[in-house]
Amino acid sequence: MEIRVFDCWVHERDARVPLGINGDDGGVPGQMAIDMVEGALGYIVGKRAGFTEGNSVVFDITGAAPRRLCVAVSGRATVVDDVADPTVTVTTDSLTFMLLACGRIDPEGPIADGRISWVGDDELGGRVARSMKFTM
């Protein structure tokens, strides 16, 4: 049933965000939605962003559903518990993280206005910020 929570959470934002209607982006549904994206981070980082052996990224997610997610490439890109010295650290709020992962917004907007930023390897940070989309 987790996929249904994810679908409902995302589609509520499809209706709410363009109209400027505020709502609760956190709580259990928000955390469950991020859980679904967490399951795709290996694909996002390894295949879409093209991280290679030895690269790693930490996503510092702030806002209504805060989380710290780490992905390291050792053979293949995999979510790990922690990364001591990440190649890049990406910081964004949970709503922007989800809108990017679900392909609901063009990444150039949040990059330009600072809703997503990174420190470390500038090229890889930009690549992952622009490669978050994994849903249709």
Over residues 44-86, the pLDDT tens digits come to 999 999 999 999 999 999 999 999 999 999 999 999 999 999 9
Q: CB–CB of 125/91 below 8 Å? A: no
| pTM of the predicted structure, to 2 decimals | 0.95
Q: What percent of the chain has pLDDT over 70?
A: 99
Please give the Cα distance from 122 to 77 (Å, whole number): 19
The rounded radius of gyration (Å) of the Cα atoms in the chain is 14
Tell me the CATH number for domain 2-129.
Answer: 3.30.1050.10
Give the residue extent of every domain in the chain: 2-129
Cα-based distances in Å from 58 to 9, 92, 123, 134: 24, 11, 15, 18
Structure tokens at 39: 């399951």
pLDDT at residue 80, rounded to an integer: 98
What is the rounded average pLDDT of the residues 91-119? 98
pLDDT at residue 108, rounded to an integer: 98
**Residue 136 scores a pLDDT above 70:** no
